[in-house]
Amino acid sequence: MAEQRTNSRPPKGNFIKAVSAVVWKDLQAEFRSRELFSAMLVFSLLIILIFNFALELDVKTRQSVTAGVLWATFAFAGTLGLNRSMAIEKDRGCLDGLLLAPVDRSASYFGKVISNLAFMLIVEIIVLPVYSVLYNINLFQPGLLLVILLGSIGYVGVGTLLAAMSVQTRTRDILLPILLFPVVIPVLLAAVKASTGYLEGLEFSEILSPLSLLIAYDVIFIAVAFMVFDSVVEE
């Protein structure tokens, strides 16, 4: 039976259902195997360990460098999660399954973004207290958590799109960081600036600028990725 691609949009309820279906499928699969999650977590902790030996994190420098160390950790661990998440799709042929469903393909994009974001946030939530304990800094400030959320959204928004592409190339995993890092620099810059601002207790007026940049980046890139995702998964 040939699939009819008509221009009439399926009712909105379908869209949300499709998105939730994708998210739920990923979360369930991950809950059962936990391979992605444990890999990301262990990797993050190891990175923090490496930073400890690579940088002289005495009490004075710790303050200024914490935000950078955290975000570098998230950036590296993030690629791990993104790679695995899309590789699983490709290997199990799930991508094809999603494509045949009579639903807007952007639903699969949003679904993947949300599940990837969930994984990343869970890892971050665990890394924060570990870092806090190891370096005696209180990282559980609402401002910082907000920055981490916004930064992760931007990172995962672009990362999911680029991972969908890199997983279809010959070089696969290696290519994702090469594609992702140059493009995600504004997120890192703004996130580190805003994080440091919150950690050092600066005036909100000073933190407003990088925070707005994060929000602007998130909006722009998720919008673009949403429009363009079709081109990336069609056969």
Partner 1 sequence: MQAKPVTLKILDVFSIITLAVSAYLALVFAPTELVMGDVQRVFYFHIGTAWTALLGFILAAVLSVIYLVSKDLKWDRLQVAAIEVSLVFFFITIVLGSIWARPAWNTWWTWDPRLTTAAVTELIYIAYFMLRQGLDDPERRARFGAVYALIGGLSAPITFFAIRLYRTIHPVVIGGNNPEAEGGFAMSADMRVAFFFALFAFTIIFIDLFWNRVRLGALENKVEQLKLKVTM
User: Which residues here bind partner 1, judged by CB under 8 A?
Assistant: 158, 161-162, 165-166, 168-172, 175, 178-179, 181-186, 189-190, 193, 209-210, 213, 216-217, 220-221, 224-225, 228, 231-232
Shorter beta-carbon distance to partner 1: residue 3 or 234:
234
Closest CA relative to residue 199, chosen from 150, 155, 142:
142
Closest CA relative to residue 149, chosen from 119, 117, 127:
117
Shorter beta-carbon distance to partner 1: residue 40 or 162:
162
CB of 235 to partner 1, least distance (A): 9
Shorter beta-carbon distance to partner 1: residue 3 or 235:
235
Helices of type H across the chain: 12-33, 35-54, 59-91, 94-100, 105-135, 142-166, 175-199, 204-233
Shorter beta-carbon distance to partner 1: residue 73 or 166:
166
CA dihedral over 131, 135, 140, 143, signed as positive or negative: negative
CB of 233 to partner 1, least distance (A): 10
User: Is residue 109 a contact partner of residue 230, using CB atoms and an 8 Å limit?
Assistant: no
CB of 226 to partner 1, least distance (A): 12
CB of 189 to partner 1, least distance (A): 4
CB of 183 to partner 1, least distance (A): 4
Shorter beta-carbon distance to partner 1: residue 106 or 132:
106
Q: What b/e readout covers 90-100, taking b as 16+ CB neighbours within 10 angstroms?
A: eeeebbeebee
> What is the rounded CA–CA span in Å between residue 4 and residue 59?
64
